[in-house]
């Protein structure tokens, strides 16, 4: 009787461990997935984003330890409309949503280039179900 009970406990613990490791595995595969390839008409925006923004906002806009992801409801077009992006690049952003610190203004990126960056970011957001 006692042994049977112990077996049951061991078996439950084993199941639980398998369950836990399945959870962490799937979690990892989500975060390490490379961003989907951008359609060719967005490749200019992708390049500009990677050169000027990805250092903090991450390749594929997934975020880094220096800046937030844009794959978030917070940055959907209704919350942060396109002018916010122009303002952010032109003036920088004072820390208010997160603990990453301020975003410095980004020089050397023209207004039309920011438009291309926005188109790319909006596409990434749509790909991830944010619209």
Q: Which residues bind ligand HEC (CB under 6 A)?
A: 52-53, 55-57, 66-68, 80, 84-85, 88-89, 93, 95-98, 100-101, 103-104, 106, 109, 117
Q: How far is the CB of 83 from ligand HEC (least distance, A)?
A: 9
Residue 60: name the closest of 116, 124, 114, 129 by CA. 124
Q: Cα–Cα distance between 97 and 70 in angstroms, integer? A: 12
Q: How far is the CB of 91 from ligand HEC (least distance, A)?
A: 10
Q: Cα–Cα distance between 64 and 26 in angstroms, integer? A: 20
Q: How far is the CB of 9 from ligand HEC (least distance, A)?
A: 48
């Amino acid at each position: 009787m006692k042994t049977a009970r112990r077996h049951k406990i061991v078996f439950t613990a084993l199941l639980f461990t398998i369950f836990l490791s399945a959870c962490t595995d799937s979690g990892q595969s989500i975060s390490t997935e490379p961003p989907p390839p951008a359609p060719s008409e967005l490749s200019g925006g992708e390049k500009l984003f990677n050169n000027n923004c990805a250092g903090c906002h991450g390749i594929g806009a997934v975020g880094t330890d220096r800046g937030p992801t844009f794959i978030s409801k917070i940055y959907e077009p209704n919350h942060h409309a396109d002018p916010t992006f122009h303002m952010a690049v032109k003036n920088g952003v004072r820390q208010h949503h997160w603990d990453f610190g301020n975003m410095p203004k980004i020089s050397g990126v023209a207004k039309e280039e920011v438009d291309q960056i926005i188109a790319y970011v909006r596409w990434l957001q749509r790909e991830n179900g944010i619209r």
